[in-house]
Structure 1
Amino acid sequence: MTEQPLVTRTGIRLVVRTARPDDASALAAFFREVSPEDLRFRFLTAVRTVGAAQIAAMVAPDHDRSEAYLARDTDSDEVVGAAMLATSDDGSRGEVAISVRADLKNRGIGWTLLDHVATRAKAKGLQTLESIESRDNRSAIELEREMGFTSEPVPGDSTLVLLRRHLA
């Protein structure tokens, strides 16, 4: 995928593209700037750091089943957001997960990344985009609802909510 220039609602100019193996150190540096709470929301478990194996998987996805996207601020060239799209075996659904650097939250980066991933998912032929969120992650749930996602409980886990948006 080529670089896609995007602008957030607050005027931050981004360049978004798929992650590559040479992005590993920049992605690791990015995750060091994500708050512990947001790491918990992103990985749905308590993690202090994102390990080398996790970073390696993000920067070398199989492209058919998963894709990682990096958003770089065009002024600083730093990674300010990251998104993952994992596709179901039958290719009808995708699950998205997004992280934004702690000092840049509430500036439209998450919204812009989610919109970009939804556009890419639709272009891949996916019919539905899903996100599993901790019920505590109110800002993500609100953002996704604003973008047309509906919510429902996750069977067997009252701490999580499934958000779903039809793309077709």
Structure 2
Amino acid sequence: MTDDVCTKLQTRTGLALLVRQAGPEDAPTLVELFHNVSPEDLRFRFLTGLNEVGADQIKAMTQADHSTIDSYIAFQPDGIAVATGMLACDKHGERGEVAISVHASHHNQGIGWTLLAFLAERATARGLKVIESIENRGNRTAIEVERDSGFSLQEYPGDPTLVLVTRNLANPTGA
């Protein structure tokens, strides 16, 4: 069962969000949310050409091992899910990978930015030293948000279409 504690956040545009951990009961909510994520955003989020998020992927988000993975859903105050974010930690508790998806009709409202800051706070609270994300070079919007949030970019080994964006949590201005 999920922890029903909601964190209240506000985006730079003034949009109020309620964020809480995802649990098994949220599978239908995530299915609906991902049906409203653009095909391009799905490609960027999962780094594949998938058209639909499968049951196994939804299960991984809603039945996560909270010792290494935190999966969150962001809701508007009216209960509509507008985004999801995940923080997946390495087994040493030093690094965490972040991934965010935003409802297509809710772009440009600061939701991704706000959820990224929230995930960085959660990573810091866990004692992680670094957070990172693997991005398709074409995902300029996410890369810009990450740069503005103190991430640095590096080549991704073995794939020129990807970049690794990294933020040192001990030094919030970058690695």
Determine if the TM-score, normalized by the shorter chain, exceeds 0.5. yes
**Interval containing the TM-score (normalised by the shorter chain):** over 0.9
Secondary structure, aligned partner of 2:134: strand
Shift of 1:106: 1.0
Shift of 1:56: 1.1
- Is 1:47 the counterpart of 2:50 in the alignment? yes
2:157 to 155, 158, 162: 155
Shift of 1:105: 0.6
Shift of 1:111: 0.4
1:8 to 11, 16, 38: 11
Q: 2:141 and 2:133 mapped to 1: Cα distance?
A: 13
Q: 2:163 and 2:55 mapped to 1: Cα distance?
A: 29
Q: Give the alignment's TM-score, normalised by structure 1.
A: 0.98
- Is 1:88 the counterpart of 2:101 in the alignment? no
Q: 2:15 and 2:54 mapped to 1: Cα distance?
A: 29
- Is 1:133 the counterpart of 2:135 in the alignment? yes
- 2:173 aligned partner: none
Matches within 5 A, 1:3-42: 3-42=6-45
Q: 2:145 and 2:115 mapped to 1: Cα distance?
A: 12
Question: Which structure 2 residue ranges, 5 or more long, are not aligned?
Answer: 171-175
By percentage of residues, which structure has more strand? 1
- AA partner of residue 145 (structure 2): L
- 2:79 aligned partner: 77
Secondary structure, aligned partner of 2:161: strand
Question: Which structure 1 residue ranges, 5 or more long, are not aligned?
Answer: none
Aligned residues: 167
Secondary structure, aligned partner of 1:165: strand
Q: 1:23 and 1:11 mapped to 2: Cα distance?
A: 26
* CA distances 1:7-27 after superposition (whole Å, capped 9, x unpaired): 111111100011011111011
Shift of 1:35: 0.1
Q: 1:164 and 1:11 mapped to 2: Cα distance?
A: 27
Shift of 1:53: 1.4
Q: Give the alignment's TM-score, normalised by structure 2.
A: 0.94
**Aligned-residue CA RMSD (Å):** 0.7
- 2:117 aligned partner: 115
* CA distances 1:36-56 after superposition (whole Å, capped 9, x unpaired): 000000000011000111111
* CA distances 1:95-124 after superposition (whole Å, capped 9, x unpaired): 000000011111100000000000000000
Secondary structure, aligned partner of 1:158: coil
